[in-house]
Amino acid sequence: MSNQRAVEVVDSACDSVLVDRPLDEARSGELARTFKAIGDPVRLRLLSLIASHAGGEACVCDVSEVFDVSGPTISHHLKVLREAGLITGERRGTWVYYRVVPQTLARLSALLAPQQRVDRAAEPASA
């Protein structure tokens, strides 16, 4: 799945889709892949390290030294996060700098915690 496709899927999932109507098969599959990307402890921690790094971006050299896994393994996890539309990367010389895509996180958050709906039928009648 391309980075653009993941973002489009999240864009198409309006904020209250879980409470307004059930997810269709295609949308639930795409969203599941995005959530699966952050369902791995290493990837979730990578995402957190990048998001909390000074300036909102982190060099791969900054995040890879924190883990007791190989460089190729870190690269794989970063690729999964990138393909899910959760981070973007920019090559500068020999290093790649990563940033979190705040719009994607906001949309996922809104999907899980939509604004509470007011059920007009349950409201007391005005006098």
Instruction: Let me know: does 75 contact 38? Beta carbons within 8 Å.
Output: no
Which residue range is the domain that position 23 belongs to?
Answer: 3-114
Residue 127 lies in a domain: no
Size of the chain, expressed as the number of residues it contains: 127
Residue 57 lies in a domain: yes
Residue 52 lies in a domain: yes
Q: How many domains, in total, are found in the chain?
A: 1
pLDDT band at 91 (very low <50, low <70, confident <90, very high): very high
For position 70, what pLDDT does the model report? Answer: 92
Task: Convert the pLDDT of each residue in 101-112 to its tens digit.
Answer: 999 888 888 788
Burial of 84: CB neighbours in 10 Å, binned 0-12, 13-18, 19+: buried
Residue 65 lies in a domain: yes
Q: What is the CATH number of the domain that holds 101?
A: 1.10.10.10
